[in-house]
Structure 1
Amino acid sequence: MRTATHSPPFEALLHEHRGIILKVAAVYARDLEDRRDLAQEIRVQLWRSFGRYDASRAKLSTWMYRIALNVAISYRRRDGALLAGRVEPLDAHHLDTLADSGAAEEDERLTALYAFIGELDALNRALILLYLEDRSYAEIAEVLGISETNVATKIGRIKQKLRGRMVAAEADSPRA
């Protein structure tokens, strides 16, 4: 016997859009256990809020991102000191370790990208996550509650910093 009247549609939508939850959890929590905890907190908050979802005001994915990011940011704030100690910035030592283990250059670049994203503040981390999801500037602005111009400016700055970091990492990485 079901107690929640919106349970079947919610479960189907949650399953259909589970990637949103997993991606947000992966970006805001690095440890597997923390990712699982954060993903569960996001699911709970989505369930609590589902009865208030209004399709005429926002696309479901936009609404889900907004809730998931708010939960993740709160989670990060609450457990910030604990989580901060688990994320290390990428340096030459990390690249050497990856190279020694036979990792491909593509893996190094992806690892560097995730390390860079991990160092961003909560708003910029959310922004780049949505950008990498190929969301439009309008949708990113709606999810984050900022203007499209602000989205474009922030993305440009993040890209510029990332380019600088990648160039520096490649310059520091020994080539065979």
Structure 2
Amino acid sequence: MHVVSRRKLKNHILEKEDELSKLNKDIVDLSECKHLQQEQMSRIKELEKEVMEMRAKHSESLQSIKAHFLHEKVHNEKQSRQRVQALAVEASREASRCLVEHTHSIELENRQLRQELLHLIRQTQVLHAHQGELEEQRQQLLRERQYVEDLKRLRAQGHFHAQPPGGGTHT
């Protein structure tokens, strides 16, 4: 029994040594893993640091862009106000120029209308004078016609045998 027990014990020791060898190998593997894990942790810390730096740079960049944008916005608003003011001044000048032009054209038109009115007044005066003359001639002609009719009537009645004015004889 001793022999069997020795063999068992030897086998058992061999098994334990084999296990120990596997454990040692696992420990070496684990130490490599631990070393790899430490490298990865170190790399993770480096990456986290880079991420923090990139975030800081990104934040600074955003702040710079915002500041630049606000500066551009203020600049553009100032330019827009200046352009609007310049356009208002130009529009005011143009309105004044147009008003002066319009006033001048109205003055010219008024002058022409005044001349035309004076001409028409003169024509009206001439026509009134001519109308007066014509009315006077008409009255004269009516008187003469009445006179001629009166003469005819008187001759027809035989009462008038006098000589007509002018010294001639009347038949």
TM-score (norm 1): 0.16
The structure whose residues are more often helix, as a share, is 2
Larger radius of gyration: 2
Structure with higher RCO (Cα < 8 A, 6+ apart): 1
TM-score (norm 2): 0.17
